[in-house]
């Protein structure tokens, strides 16, 4: 059979039985609506009827039956488009009971997903035949389109009709849930003051952490990732700067308390070995994945993130750092590449409902000022990063510039932008020798 003769997968009888079940029993409407939408039907008229049934069902003063559905469609001027009242009657007569409504709806959804995948495949074939096609970008689009097909129903969760009372009931339930969470509604970073200012890192959010070289941005990122993962939030740490082995050394130093340089050189005492053994055991039970610098193209990072979201239900990714990543080659300048990569991470956060934290290098303009504390304008190759990010933080260590400072072993975590939160400066204690960052109160204790 030629491709042109192929009929997209569907089952007319299953679609009719799904609609018929919904008109037989109100319980069937609830079951079907959690599985299939009006967009999932092959025959447009069935989608129109499905939508009309839901509109009636969501009106507490209306019943759903042959008469009300026909009346609703007539009022909308769509009764003829669906085949008239006689066709609606035939839908009810086509199914003896609504007991199998869920099974029918699942079939409708499965066929719809197959049709979407076929459409995606056709799109990729066309892209593949273009001589100027970039393989990495085609693969990235393929991953994105297939993932979208697999979560098609989830998009309905992001739509709220103010006139639909059920939407407000769900939202009030969500607020009640927040009240029980002690003010931390997102991912806890493990740093009390940071969590207090942000209420935790929110799902779907995008955070930039910027610093000049040697300020400790990787150290902060490692500790933050560890803290979030220890709370049971699976995550991924991507390093575009270091190979996996070096990243693991830093995680192990932070967790075990063993000097990172001694760990690198292999000059370890018996006491160190005990600490390493205990630290490794704890890390072995931490839902965190570390990926070294051999994977440093933004498209590869997005593809791996989607894969790990499916497999491990990850809640966050940490990327170290933005300017070292390979981006979209068709962009004429580094500035445009960085903008596109930043935008790609923002979309990824929203697409997967995870929090994306990306580290960024700051421009040398910081060094020309008397006050070396970073500000928003210092984001290197920033472009639209400031607009893209939900949150922007900077790291500053006064000791780096002034060895005689009173703030030894203290770093400033400066919030320059916080969506729906507070901006300001938080002081954290650190120990470079073991790559550890912690609340000042813990150091005092």
Q: Calculate what percentage of the chain has a pLDDT beyond 90.
A: 27
Q: Supply the CATH number for residue 132's domain.
A: 1.10.860.10
- Residue 167 domain-assigned? no
Residue 246: is its pLDDT beyond 60?
A: yes
- Residue 175 domain-assigned? no
Mean per-residue pLDDT for 401-424? 86
Domains in the chain, number: 2
Residue 44 CA to its chain's centroid (Å): 32
- Residue 9 domain-assigned? yes
Q: What is the pLDDT of residue 22?
A: 92
Mean per-residue pLDDT for 119-134? 78
- Tokens 């006139």 -> residue: 163
- Residue 56 domain-assigned? yes
3-class secondary-structure state, position 192 = helix
Are 196 and 182 a contacting pair, CB within 8 Å?
Answer: no
- Distance between CA atoms of 369 and 362, rounded to whole angstroms? 13
Are 144 and 301 a contacting pair, CB within 8 Å?
Answer: no
Are residue 241 and residue 324 in the same domain, yes or no? yes
Residue 379: is its pLDDT beyond 80?
A: no
Are residue 404 and residue 287 in the same domain, yes or no? yes
Are 49 and 132 a contacting pair, CB within 8 Å?
Answer: no
- Distance between CA atoms of 232 and 236, rounded to whole angstroms? 13
- Residue 86 domain-assigned? yes
Structure tokens at 74: 């007539």
Residue 163: is its pLDDT beyond 80?
A: no
Are residue 204 and residue 278 in the same domain, yes or no? yes
- In this prediction, residue 380 has a pLDDT band, given cuts at 50, 70 and 90, of low
Are residue 346 and residue 391 in the same domain, yes or no? yes
- Residue 203 domain-assigned? yes
Domain end among 142, 158, 174: 158
What pLDDT digit, counting tens, does each position of 286-318 carry?
A: 999 998 877 778 878 887 888 888 889 999 999
Q: What is the pLDDT of residue 158?
A: 57
Structure tokens at 178: 């927040």
Domain end among 138, 158, 178: 158
pTM of structure: 0.65
Q: What is the pLDDT of residue 208?
A: 92
Are residue 57 and residue 14 in the same domain, yes or no? yes
What pLDDT digit, counting tens, does each position of 54-97 carry?
A: 888 877 778 888 899 999 999 999 999 999 999 999 999 988 88
Which residues have C-beta within 8 Å of that of residue 416, sequence separation ≥ 6?
374, 375, 376, 392, 393, 394, 423
- Residue 174 domain-assigned? no
Whether omega before 376 lies within 30 degrees of 0, making that bond cis, reads no
Are residue 198 and residue 154 in the same domain, yes or no? no
Are residue 71 and residue 192 in the same domain, yes or no? no
Q: What is the pLDDT of residue 444?
A: 42
Packing angle, helices 101-128 and 135-150, rounded to 10: 170
Residue 32: is its pLDDT beyond 50?
A: yes
Q: What is the pLDDT of residue 376?
A: 81
Beta strand pairing status for 410-418 and 424-431?
antiparallel
- Residue 177 domain-assigned? no
Are residue 92 and residue 232 in the same domain, yes or no? no
Are 45 and 78 a contacting pair, CB within 8 Å?
Answer: no
Domain end among 122, 143, 158: 158
Mean per-residue pLDDT for 86-111? 91
Packing angle, helices 66-75 and 44-57, rounded to 10: 110
Are residue 256 and residue 107 in the same domain, yes or no? no
Are residue 86 and residue 204 in the same domain, yes or no? no
What's the first-to-final CA gap in the chain, in angstroms?
Answer: 76
- Distance between CA atoms of 381 and 363, rounded to whole angstroms? 8
Are residue 261 and residue 150 in the same domain, yes or no? no
| Mean pLDDT over each residue of the chain, to the nearest integer | 83
Are residue 386 and residue 252 in the same domain, yes or no? yes
User: Which residue range(s) make up the domain with 8?
Assistant: 3-158
Q: Supply the CATH number for residue 429's domain.
A: 3.40.50.300
Residue 438: is its pLDDT beyond 60?
A: yes
């Amino acid at each position: 059979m030629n491709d042109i003769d192929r009929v997209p997968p569907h089952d007319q009888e299953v679609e009719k039985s799904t609609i018929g079940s919904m008109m037989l029993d109100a319980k069937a409407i609830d079951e079907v609506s959690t599985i299939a939408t009006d967009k999932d039907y092959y025959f447009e008229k069935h989608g129109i009827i499905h939508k009309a049934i839901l509109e009636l069902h969501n009106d507490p003063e209306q019943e759903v039956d042959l008469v009300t559905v026909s009346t609703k469609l007539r009022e909308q001027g769509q009764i003829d488009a669906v085949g008239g009242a006689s066709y609606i009657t035939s839908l009810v007569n086509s199914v003896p009971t609504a007991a199998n409504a869920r099974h029918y709806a699942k079939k409708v959804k499965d066929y719809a997903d197959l049709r979407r995948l076929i459409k995606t495949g056709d799109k990729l074939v066309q892209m593949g035949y273009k001589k100027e096609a970039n393989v990495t970008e085609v693969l990235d689009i393929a991953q994105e389109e297939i993932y979208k097909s697999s979560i098609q129903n989830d998009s309905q969760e992001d739509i709220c009709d103010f006139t639909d009372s059920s939407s407000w009931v769900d939202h009030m339930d969500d607020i009640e849930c927040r009240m029980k969470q002690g003010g931390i509604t997102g991912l806890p970073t493990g740093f009390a003051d940071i969590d207090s200012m942000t209420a935790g890192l929110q799902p779907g959010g995008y955070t930039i952490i910027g610093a000049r070289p040697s300020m400790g941005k990787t150290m902060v990122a490692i500790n933050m990732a560890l803290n979030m993962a220890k709370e049971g939030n699976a995550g991924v740490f991507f390093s575009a700067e270091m190979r996996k082995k070096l990243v693991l050394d830093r995680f192990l130093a932070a967790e075990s308390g063993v000097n990172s340089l001694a760990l690198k050189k292999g000059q370890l005492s018996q006491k160190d070995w005990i600490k390493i053994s205990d630290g490794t055991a704890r890390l072995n039970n931490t839902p965190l994945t570390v990926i070294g610098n051999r994977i440093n193209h933004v498209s590869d990072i997005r593809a791996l993130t989607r894969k790990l979201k499916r497999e491990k239900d990850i809640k966050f990714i940490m990327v170290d750092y933005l300017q070292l990543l390979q981006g979209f080659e068709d962009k004429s300048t580094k500035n445009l590449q960085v903008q596109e990569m930043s935008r790609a991470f923002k979309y990824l956060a929203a697409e997967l409902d995870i929090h994306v934290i990306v580290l960024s290098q700051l421009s040398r303009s910081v060094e020309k000022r008397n006050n070396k504390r970073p500000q928003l304008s210092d984001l290197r190759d920033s472009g639209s990063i400031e607009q893209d990010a939900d949150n922007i933080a900077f790291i500053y260590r006064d000791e780096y510039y002034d060895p005689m400072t009173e703030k030894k072993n203290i770093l400033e975590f400066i919030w320059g932008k916080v969506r729906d939160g507070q901006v300001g400066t938080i002081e954290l204690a650190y120990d470079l020798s073991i790559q550890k960052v912690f609340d000042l109160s813990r150091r005092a204790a």
